[in-house]
Amino acid sequence: MDKYQFIPLLKSREWSVDKIWRLAKFHDNIIGGLWPIFLQNLQELNNKIIPTQTLHAAFMSMIIDIVKDGKQVSDHLLYSIHNTGNLTTTVALIPPLYYDIATLRLSAVHSALLAHVSAEYHGAVFLPGK
């Protein structure tokens, strides 16, 4: 699945209005096919959880092994993950094919983060008292 995170907003020599519109529509079709999973009580995704990695990068590094065309391959479990307007809620967007395994893995995300993130970074990961 191709991922598009950049859609130009202004017409230019390289980006005609029609080309911008087609890419935006393609992006909307991709996003419209994803399913959300809401995570509670996590801090800002751009916070560091180790000196060289953010919480966002850690989530995006979650991999799933699948069989595709008769071959074992690895794929990203999450399509994307985002902060929301609610400071206590994060949303992960998941391809429907991976939704059940993502639900299982993300239901244990707090335990996994507690086990793998050094205590000195817990304040950057978890909301106080949650």
Helices (H), 33-108: 55-60, 99-107
| Dist. CA 105–CA 103, nearest whole Å | 6
- Chain segment 58-88, per-residue pLDDT in tens: 999 999 998 888 999 999 999 999 999 888 8
Residue 94: what pLDDT?
95
Q: What is the pTM of this model?
A: 0.77
Residue 6: what pLDDT?
62
Residue 54: what pLDDT?
93
Q: Is the pLDDT of residue 10 over 80?
A: no
Q: How many CA atoms lie within 13 A of 51 on its CB side?
A: 0
Sign of the alpha-carbon torsion through 53, 59, 63, 69: negative
